[in-house]
Amino acid sequence: MKKDSGALSEALKILLEEKLPRSEVQSLKDEGFTLKRPTRETALAVAIYKKAASGDLSAIKELRSILSGEEKQDKHTKAVIIIDDIEAQNI
């Protein structure tokens, strides 16, 4: 039976928000990463960063894609301007 992608997406979000096990947190600290709120999502971000930093072109492209997607989303959200044009029509 095929699961709908909305349910799968929600399950992944929940999984990524889980706290990272202490052993994994310690391993990342030993590598020099300071983590304020270590989650599985944080671990994925570190893994992509490490691959990109090592010169892996696909990881660099993925990192750029993720970051540019956030920038586009932020720009879109910040670009919303409400103009009161009702008074202008009554003039």
30-85 tens-digit pLDDT: 999 988 999 999 999 999 999 999 999 999 999 999 999 865 554 555 555 556 55
Confidence of residue 4 (pLDDT cuts 50, 70, 90): confident
Burial class of residue 38, CB neighbours in 10 A (0-12, 13-18, 19+): buried
pTM above 0.75, yes or no: no
pLDDT at 32: 94
| Spatial distance between the Cα atoms of 31 and 38, rounded to a whole number of angstroms | 14
